[in-house]
Amino acid sequence: MFVANYMKHNPYTVGENALLATASQLMHMHQILHLPVVDNGRRLVGILSDRDVRSAVGFDRTLPDRLTVAETMTVDPVTIQADDTIEQAIEILTTNRFGALPVMRAGQLAGIITTKDVLRAFHEVLGLTEDGRRIEVALPDGRVDLASVFQALQDGGHEVISAVVSRTRRDGGEPSLYLRVATDQRKSIEQCLRKAMAILLAPEQP
């Protein structure tokens, strides 16, 4: 799961000397919330967000006609490399509460990755593009239980759409394995796991 596989390539950009009104129109036209800002040499110098635009407007709706992008943008934005992982992108986005990160490759702007792109990555990894149901299995003995679960699935000839291990449940319980399985195989797989003495859990309440 690398940033390059989920980023938007060749994103729309805006010049630092452009009017804020022009940038705002571009964002509205293409329904985007973030614009990388480049100088005359096409070097990344900032990023402009929809929030920046709204903050600049305030109560005086004429301000965007006078302001330039350079006066409103975030200067020297935090970036990420195209060959970095999605996990690294998540860490930066969540720690800093960013909505997007410019993506660099060999010192040049290569794309932009947003929180929506990150969610799309995990949507695919979790197998949510396929119809299925979730089964939760407790792992009080960690790796031993995990190995026995997958051995039972293999012996039973069952396949899973996705599998994710969580170190702890929200309720503070033991590590758990979250399996996503085909809907028509759920009962069969549950029976297989119970025969293997796996501890099946009821889904947590939100």
Verify that 90 and 149 share a domain, yes or no: no
- The tens-digit pLDDT sequence of the chain (206 residues) is 899 999 999 999 999 999 998 998 999 999 999 999 999 888 999 999 999 988 887 655 555 578 899 999 999 999 999 999 999 999 999 999 999 999 999 999 999 999 999 999 988 888 887 888 889 998 888 889 999 999 999 999 998 999 988 876 666 667 889 999 988 889 999 999 999 999 998 765 44
Verify that 8 and 52 share a domain, yes or no: yes
Tell me which amino acid residue 132 is: G
Closest CA to 176 of 187, 160, 163, 188: 163
Verify that 139 and 118 share a domain, yes or no: no
Tell me which amino acid residue 83 is: D
Given this model, what pLDDT does residue 60 score? 56
E-strand stretches of 51-107: 74-75, 80-81, 100-105
Q: 3-class DSSP state for residue 199?
A: strand
Picking from 97, 123, 149, the residue at the C-terminal end of a domain is 123
Q: Please report where in the chains the tokens 């449940």 appear, as a residue.
A: 169
Domain hosting 99: range is 3-123
CA angle 81, 86, 87 (to 5 degrees): 110
CA distance 1 to 154: 26
| Domain CATH for 119 | 3.10.580.10
CA distance 25 to 65: 11
Picking from 123, 156, 182, the residue at the C-terminal end of a domain is 123
Given this model, what pLDDT does residue 127 score? 82
Given this model, what pLDDT does residue 113 score? 98
Q: 3-class DSSP state for residue 156?
A: coil
Residue 206 lies in a domain: no
Verify that 115 and 135 share a domain, yes or no: no
| Domain CATH for 154 | 3.30.70.260
Residue 43 lies in a domain: yes
Verify that 59 and 89 share a domain, yes or no: yes
Domain count, the chain: 2
Verify that 26 and 101 share a domain, yes or no: yes
Given this model, what pLDDT does residue 204 score? 53
Given this model, what pLDDT does residue 132 score? 86
Verify that 8 and 85 share a domain, yes or no: yes
